[in-house]
Structure 1
Amino acid sequence: MVGVSELDQRIQEAKAQLDEHVREIVQWHFSPETGCPFWLGWAQEAGWNPAKEITCFDDIIAKFPHFEDEWLRDLQPEVWVPKEFKGQPFNIFETGGTTGMPKQRIGWNDYKVDYSEFSDSLNDEEFPRNHYWLMVGPTGPRRLRLSIEHLANVRGCSCYFVDLDPRWVKRLISEKQFDQAKAYMEHVVDQATTIMKNRSVSALFTTPKLLESIAERYESEGSSLYDAGIRGVFCGGTTMDPQYTRFLCEELLENKIGFVPTYGNTLMGLAKHKPLTAEDKYSITYYAPQPRALMRVLNPDTDVPVEYDEWGRVELTTLTKEFFMPRFLERDEAIRSKPIELYPWDGVAEVRPFGAMQKKIVEGVY
């Protein structure tokens, strides 16, 4: 193509792949032979047939309203079971919230696909194969626990776990029981360092604040995470602005330990980050696992995409045979980032809670 750069061509190819995937997934969810009760009922009530009228991703934006999170709280899980999966037991995963009924998503193999693909982006020196990992984070009803174990297993590794209840921590902080929150955090750090001192562990998955606490525990004992055998760290769950990211990489990890920031949730899967470079000045940009999921950054007042390098609210669309979720407004805001050759679609940078500059946000340790 004359006058078209390699990146432009990759962007066009990714768009074509997305549109083809959209047609396949919408056909699946809105066909009586394969679809789930919720979406078949929704289409009947809406009075139009997405299986016939949706031909590309832009049609989803034009024709679907925002997905309502109350649907995942209020409705029974069986309404989301595609007919093709009927009779197959499913996982039930929770996401978000502090009190009350959490959002729930059912699933079968999506998390395995998401994290198997993510494995390809990892460096074997920083995340050695056939070794041991430690996850310090929410297990229980969270998809993350099974996902991290699967990721470890894909790489020939086994994983130790220390549980964290983020809802409890957020509740303690919101009620200003800071001493209790600190005691709980110390309890989690105690468990993590006990495993690390008594077992061989090369990779650590945790939140930024817990990473900081674990590293400081070792520093207080005249040691470091590197001395403890850690060679790679996955870090996600709470805000990491450029200044804090630099602190993590240079001070805590001493530029000797691989650092993989993560952005994902039960509804999306896992976004990959653009490799950090000096030019980025420690600003982290994430790219959704397109075409299985796609993120846009919208002006919260007009509901249209912001310009590149501007802040807006994150909108997520998930497109798998297990789960169709169009135009869900996340409780996050971010900077809209340009496509890159590695990920030729829009990204999101410097993710933080929506409205973080206007009001106090309780993030806890996750």
Structure 2
Amino acid sequence: MNPSAPASATAIDQARQKLDAHTVETVAWHFHESTGCPFWLEKKAKLKFDPLTEIHCFEDLKKFDPFEDEWLRGGPVTRWVPKGLVGKPVYVFETGGTTGIPKSRIAMEDFRTDYSLFSDTLPDKYFPPGSNWLMLGPSGPRRLRLAVEHLAQHRGGICFCIDLDPRWVIKLIKKGWMEHLKEYKKHCIDQAISILGAGHDVKCMFGTPKLIEALCLELEERGTTLGEMGITGIFSGGTEFTPQWTKFCVEELFGGPPEESGIYMTPTYGNTLMGLACSELVTKDNGYKITYHAPQPRAVIEVVDFDDTDRLVDFGETGRVKLTTLTPEFFVPGFLERDEGEREPPCEQYPWDGVSGVRPFSRLADSTTVGVY
């Protein structure tokens, strides 16, 4: 199997049928009086159609108005808890708060399910089962921290976390306190190096691009490398994950591709609402191009026209990222992300659309502070 080879028409059709069936099932769950959540049951009375009888496929979700950012800001967060799941332990995860009051969502098992599925894509050679992990990323009310911890546990290891508040990083940037920012980054890297040097047999890690680079450079200052510290597998994500940075990271910071350096890195694109989109294989041969595919049918990424957000752009064209979340815990139709990118065709491993070149949405970029990502 060549994972990045074009998907067959049969595979694409089967994936679409699975998505259509999953869509109907998810909508029925969230809008039925016995299982739905208060938010959607209240919205149902204001809709011009009946979701229980008029949603027959994924395309029918266009009948909903675009999902509004503000619906996820503020409380009570319990309005999102489906009646069918009442009584189960509930987590609340927040976004980084780059644009005012943080968006929040409830979760029960979604983060575990998403990362268990992601685990199946990791090569055991570089992410050895039973290995311990370092979580070099945001802590606090972020989905990512618990998700990486679950990933480590799912693979039979233990996760070591640092303390990192991305909201403080954003404040430092907005105030122009760059010396403070430099010291805070050093504080985070010092924590990571202390863990790596403490004899915990950490072989795998999560890190954002900026923090991975800072860690490698600090280790170089101390006369060692990431490989010498025992790291063999890196899972990373963030909008600053570009082909240029990946090339620099693999060739300069790691010392070559996995077969030479012994370090394998897989880019991902994820957030609190979607879960985790996996990338096609990224190599020197394909110019370190990074193409992501959402975890269908649990989440769907579409690349749409900037002005007509119901219209997909052509393959290779640039558009805004539109996300739909479809799980029993959470239903979000047509959420317009603060990202843009190029639409990519289905591949053998992921027989549905992908997106490459993910970056902050150009029309909103001036108001977005990326911070540690």
Normalising TM by the smaller chain, what interval? Answer: over 0.9
Displacement of 1:89? 2.9
Q: Does 1:190 align with 2:197?
A: no
Runs of 4+ in 1 over 3 A off after TM superposition: 356-361
In structure 1, the partner of 2:21 is 20
Q: Which runs of 5+ in 2 are unaligned?
A: 1-5
Partner AA of 2:341 in structure 1:
A
Q: CA deviation at 1:87?
A: 2.6
Offset of 1:246 from its aligned partner? 0.5
SS of the aligned residue for 1:202 comes to: strand
How many Å apart are 1:74 and its aligned residue? 3.1
Tell me how far 1:101 sits from its aligned partner: 2.2
Give the 3-state SS of the residue equivalent to 2:343 in structure 1: strand
Shift of 1:193: 0.6
Check conservation: 1:308, 1:336, Cα contact below 8 A: yes
TM-score by length of 1: 0.95
Equivalent residue for 1:294?
300
Deviation at 1:76, TM superposition (A): 1.0
Deviation for aligned residue 1:313:
0.8
Q: Distance in 2 between matches of 1:347 and 1:144?
A: 22
Tell me the equivalent position of 1:264: 270
Q: Which sits farther off after the overlay, 321-330 or 171-180?
A: 171-180
**Superposition pairs of residues 98-177 of structure 1, within 5 angstroms:** 98=98, 100-177=100-177
Q: Does 1:92 align with 2:92?
A: yes
Tell me, in whole angstroms, the C-alpha distance in 2 between the residues paired with 1:8 and 1:224. 46
Measure, in 2, the Cα distance between the counterparts of 1:265 and 1:218: 29
Count residues with an aligned counterpart. 361
Greater mean deviation of Cα atoms: 348-357 or 22-31: 348-357
Q: 1:330 aligns with which of 328, 337, 350?
A: 337
What do the CA deviations read for 1:205-246 (whole angstroms, capped 9, x no partner)? 111111011101111122110011110111112312211110
Secondary structure of residue in 2 paired with 1:263: strand
Matching residue's letter, 1:147 = A
- 1:350 equivalenced with 2:351 (yes/no): no
Measured in 2, the distance between the counterparts of 1:356 and 1:29 equals: 33
Asked whether the equivalents of residues 239 and 353 of structure 1 are also in contact (C-alpha less than 8 Å), the reply is: no
Which amino acid counterpart does residue 89 of structure 1 have in structure 2?
P
* Partner in structure 1 of residue 222 of structure 2: 221
- 8 Å contact kept, 1:139–1:164: yes
Spell out the pairing of 1:210-249 with structure 2 (5 A cutoff): 210-249=211-250
Structure 1: distance between partners of 2:48 and 2:61: 16
Asked whether the equivalents of residues 202 and 230 of structure 1 are also in contact (C-alpha less than 8 Å), the reply is yes
CA distance in 2, matches of 1:8, 1:285: 20
Query: Is the 2:7–2:350 Cα contact (8 Å) retained in structure 1?
Result: no
Residue of structure 1 in register with 2:209 after alignment: 208
Q: TM-score, normalised by structure 2?
A: 0.93
2: CA distance, partners of 1:260 / 1:17 = 27
Larger RCO, structure (CA 8 Å, separation 6 or more): 2
Structure 1: unaligned runs, 5 residues or longer = none
Cα distance in 2, alignment partners of residues 6 and 227 from structure 1: 39
Structure 2 CA distance for aligned equivalents of residues 320 and 361 of structure 1:
28
Using the aligned pairs only, state the percent identity.
Answer: 50
Question: Which amino acid in the other structure matches residue 198 of structure 2?
Answer: N
Q: Residue 307 of structure 1 aligns to which amino acid in structure 2?
A: D
Aligned partner of 2:8 in structure 1 is 7
1:201 Cα deviation (Å)? 1.1
Task: Name the structure 2 match of 1:363.
Answer: 370
CA–CA distance in 1 between the matches of 2:101 and 2:170? 15
Q: 1:74, 1:193 → 2: CA distance?
A: 37
